[in-house]
């Protein structure tokens, strides 16, 4: 991958729809706060971001996507869009977590992301441990100390660095620290006839 990669990054893991276009070494961002409707708005917004900078899908070298942690449905929206675009365009897709962008922005190995019910998702990059959930995170850098614009810009930069470093990159996959709050239906499923 050449060093001047053209990359489109996006994220819908929280109450926003965010995009960043890395073009000629400059990151152009667009963020819209929204509690709902990311699924309907995402592709339209990405088209608008590309058009605003005279680019098309064919000009992209890669796609980057925020994989969480965050809102279950929001993560699924952006990850499925990234995987579909990568497949359709024949371009690589790179997943970048909120932990990664927080570490990048704060230059700190211990990072925390707000979680439901006044808890925190934490990750310690020094210990190479899996993300965990906790009530407190003393001494951890908080993702909320940075704006959504900062995070989407960092996601684009991280993805570009991973691409230029070479090597195999796994397909983006949602990063869930805990199981979803939804429970399976209690209704008896219909009988499937032979």
Average pLDDT over residues 27-54: 97
Length of the chain: 194
Q: Over 90: is that where the pLDDT of 183 sits? A: no
Catalogue all structural domains in the chain, each as residue range(s) with its CATH number: 7-97+147-165 (3.30.420.40)
Integer Cα distance of 71 and 119 in angstroms: 14
Integer Cα distance of 117 and 113 in angstroms: 13
Residue 22 belongs to what H/E stretch? strand 16-23
Higher per-residue pLDDT: 116 or 159: 159
* pLDDT tens-digit map of 67-110: 999 999 999 999 999 999 999 999 999 999 999 999 999 999 99
- Cα dihedral 9, 63, 86, 161 sign: negative
Instruction: Report the Cα 67 to chain-centroid distance in Å.
Output: 4
Q: Over 60: is that where the pLDDT of 2 sits? A: no
Check residue 3 and give its pLDDT.
Answer: 63
SS3 12: coil
Check residue 181 and give its pLDDT.
Answer: 67
Average pLDDT over residues 27-32: 98
Do 20 and 94 touch, CB atoms closer than 8 A? no
Q: Over 80: is that where the pLDDT of 184 sits? A: no
* pLDDT tens-digit map of 119-137: 999 999 999 888 999 998 8
Among 96, 141, 95, 143, smallest CA distance to 115 is for 143
Which DSSP string do the residues of 85-128 spell out, in sequence order? HHHHHT--EEEE-HHHHHHHHHT-SEEEEEETTTEEEEEETTTT
* Contacts with 49 (C-beta within 8 Å, 6 or more apart), sequence order: 8, 19, 21, 28, 30
* pLDDT tens-digit map of 146-181: 999 999 999 999 999 999 998 889 999 999 888 766
Check residue 180 and give its pLDDT.
Answer: 66
Q: Per-residue confidence at 189, pLDDT binned at 50, 70, 90?
A: confident
Q: Over 90: is that where the pLDDT of 9 sits? A: yes
Check residue 194 and give its pLDDT.
Answer: 79
Check residue 33 and give its pLDDT.
Answer: 97
SS3 150: helix
The residue assigned the tokens 């899908």 is: 57
């Amino acid at each position: 991958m050449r060093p001047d990669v053209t990359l489109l990054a996006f994220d819908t893991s929280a109450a926003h729809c965010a995009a960043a276009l890395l073009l000629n070494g400059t990151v152009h961002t667009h963020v819209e706060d929204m509690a709902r409707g990311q699924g309907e708005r995402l592709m339209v917004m990405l088209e608008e971001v590309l058009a605003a900078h005279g680019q098309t899908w064919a000009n992209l070298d890669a796609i980057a996507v925020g994989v969480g942690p965050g809102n279950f449905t929001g993560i699924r929206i952006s990850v499925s869009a990234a995987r579909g675009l990568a497949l359709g365009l024949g371009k690589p897709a790179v997943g970048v977590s909120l932990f990664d962008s927080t570490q990048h922005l704060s230059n700190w190995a211990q990072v925390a992301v707000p979680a439901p019910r006044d808890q925190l998702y934490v990750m310690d990059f020094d210990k190479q441990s899996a993300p965990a959930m906790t009530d407190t995170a003393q001494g951890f850098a908080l993702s909320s100390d940075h704006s959504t614009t900062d995070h989407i810009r960092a996601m684009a930069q991280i993805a570009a660095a991973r691409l230029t470093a070479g090597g195999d990159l796994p397909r983006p996959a949602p990063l869930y620290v805990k199981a979803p709050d939804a429970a399976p239906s209690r209704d008896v499923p219909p009988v499937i006839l032979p």
